[in-house]
Amino acid sequence: MMIRNIIVGCFCLMLFIPGAVNAQKKRTLGSMKKPFVLSQQFKHAAGAGVSMYSLDDSQELIYQLAYQPTLSLTRSHSDFSFSIGSQISGGYHPETDADTLSYIFADLPLLAEFNFGHNASKDFYSDAGWFLGGGYAWQLFRENWQSGPVATLGVRAFFFGPSLTVRYHRFFAITDEARSLNTITVALNLGGYFEQVKLNNKLSRFSNGFRK
């Protein structure tokens, strides 16, 4: 009797899981195709990083905190998007032997990015992904404002649970007075949707593996 109940229960579970996965996918993917909804398209992250620039024969460091707001402009794909956003940073350069000026640093870029895989949308499937893009930035650097083009690329993935973004950011000096900067940032991707994505993906992979 018990064995029969177990067999019946397993059979019901086999029927339920594919339907639940498909229903969840339809609901999530369908929401991406509705008219533009800010809460569905907006993503953000926060973290810390360091900027580096050359002065004489020295590599100077600027320690900073960063906030990365992003707005996806595409809604038809789970693991691809085109977005506009920024990496708003504030930092501090302490006095050193090579650069005796201590100062507050600010970075205000406007970025356009292509996103692939992880966190490309709020219903992504991949555990890892990458992005690249570029734009223009305004920086408060050594008590003066400088501006110029920027390029950025990086990876996003689940690292031991949380979703993280590792970003490389290059600012190109376009005047003799300006300095080019290289920036590395590690940021925590924020949002309650990550736990739901993990659950959806587990169900989907279990269902696909069972059908194979």
Number of domains in the chain: 1
pLDDT tens digits, residue range 64-105?
Answer: 999 999 999 988 888 899 999 999 999 999 999 999 999 999
Q: Who's near 3: CB < 8 A, 6+ residues apart?
A: none
Tell me the C-alpha to C-alpha distance, in Å, between residue 49 and each of 10, 62, 89, 186, 196: 50, 9, 9, 6, 29
Give the structural domain span for 68.
Answer: 2-211
- The β-bridge partners of 149 are 136
Between residues 1 and 15, the one the model is more confident about = 1
Per-residue pLDDT tens digits for 14-59: 444 344 434 444 444 434 556 667 778 999 999 999 999 998 888 9
* pLDDT higher than threshold 60 for residue 60: yes
Question: What length does the chain have?
Answer: 212
pLDDT per position as a tens digit, 133-182: 999 999 999 999 999 999 999 999 999 989 999 999 999 999 998 999 99
Alpha-carbon gap, residue 81 to 177, rounded angstroms? 37
Q: Residues 131-138: contacts with CB within 8 Å, 24+ apart?
A: 131/155, 131/156, 135/109, 135/110, 135/111, 136/109, 136/110, 137/107, 137/108, 137/109, 137/110, 137/171, 138/107, 138/108, 138/109
Q: Which residue has the higher pLDDT, 55 or 108?
A: 108
- Return the pLDDT at 212: 52
Q: How far apart are CA 39 and CA 192, in angstroms?
A: 12
Task: DSSP for 138-170, please give it.
Answer: EEEETTEEEEEEEEEEEEEEESSSSEEEEEEEE
At residue 30, the pLDDT reads 38
Say yes or no to pLDDT of 187 above 60. yes
Domain CATH for 166: 2.40.160.20
The whole-angstrom separation of Cα 186 and Cα 194 is 18
Q: How far apart are CA 136 and CA 93, in angstroms?
A: 22
Are 146 and 123 spatial neighbours (Cβ–Cβ below 8 Å)? no
Residue 177 structure tokens? 């007075």
